[in-house]
Amino acid sequence: MTSELLRDLRVEPSILSADFARLGDQVQEVLDAGARIIHVDVMDGHFVPPITIGPLVVSALREQAERAGALLDVHLMIERPERHIADFLKAGADSITVHAEATPHLAYAVNIVREGGAGAGVAINPGTPVDAFAEVADDIDLALCMSVNPGWGGQAFIGRSLEKLVRVRAIVPAHAAVQVDGGVDLHTAPACRATGANLFVAGSAVFGAPDPAQAYRAIVEAAGAV
Ligand code: DX5
Ligand code: ZN
């Protein structure tokens, strides 16, 4: 099930912009609206300045996601992610993405994710060349191209990412997903789709809206996603 959903054209609500005091309700709103991949942003205060959430929140959402047939897609913005992957696997992550900039042991980190039975993703920052994917391209399920500098929701989409996404699509095998994260909304989603990317992470555009379900559906429609 993991890989099939990742291959669809999908909008992924990012809980980073959700109201954490009512996280379960907010997640349920987007699941009811049809979301089947929930994006979980993990930040350590080192790789990026903010500290967000860890495996406890993944395990808290696990049953709810499972009931809806949805995946928990964990984006690790942490240094030396290989030291923490086991905890996220145990917590129930369905896919785990590590940053190429965050470890000298990228292939090793990808292997731990795969051996743990989860989808393996690699992410690159706006300043990182797409070549960072080259040596692991055959082993990943997902290539994440950041379209903002990671660390915060609500930033403006970096326009140059569109041309970069085309090059990411070309460098990773067809079976791997290409994911765009940062500044994705009603207006930027159609251009992202035109690059060949298929997973669109949207945080503030969904949970920053008065009605997250409606906002989610509007982005799905704009992107021509399912
Ligand atoms: C940012 C995170 C994103 C974030 C996107 O570092 O990786 O997933 O939630 O937020 P928006 O959609 O508001 O740019
Ligand atoms: Zn993210």
Write out pLDDT tens, residues 79-125: 999 999 999 999 999 999 999 999 999 999 999 999 999 999 999 99
Residues of the chain with pLDDT under 50: 1
A 10 A CB-CB count for 2 gives 15
What pLDDT score does 2 carry? Answer: 63
Q: Which ligand is nearest to the CA of 216?
A: 1
CATH of the domain at 31: 3.20.20.70
- Atom 4 of ligand 1: nearest residue by CA position: 153
* Candidates 44, 94, 141, 181; catalytic one: 181
Asked if 32 is an active-site residue, the reply is no
What pLDDT score does 206 carry? Answer: 98
Tally of domains in the chain: 1
Q: Could you list the residue range(s) of the whole structural domain that residue 86 is in? A: 2-223
Helices (H), 71-115: 85-91, 106-115
What pLDDT score does 202 carry? Answer: 98
CA of 38 to the centre of ligand 2 (A): 10
pTM of the full structure: 0.98
What pLDDT score does 196 carry? Answer: 97
A 10 A CB-CB count for 194 gives 13
Helices (H), the chain: 2-7, 23-32, 55-67, 85-91, 106-115, 161-171, 189-194, 204-207, 212-223
Q: Give, as residue ranges, everything with CB less than 5 Å from ion ligand 2.
A: 41, 75, 181
Q: How far is CA 11 from CA 87, 200, 205, in A?
A: 26, 5, 11
Work out which ligand 1 atom sits closest to the CA atom of 149: 6
CA of 45 to the centre of ligand 2 (A): 15
Could you tell me if the CB of 147 is within 6 A of ligand 1? no
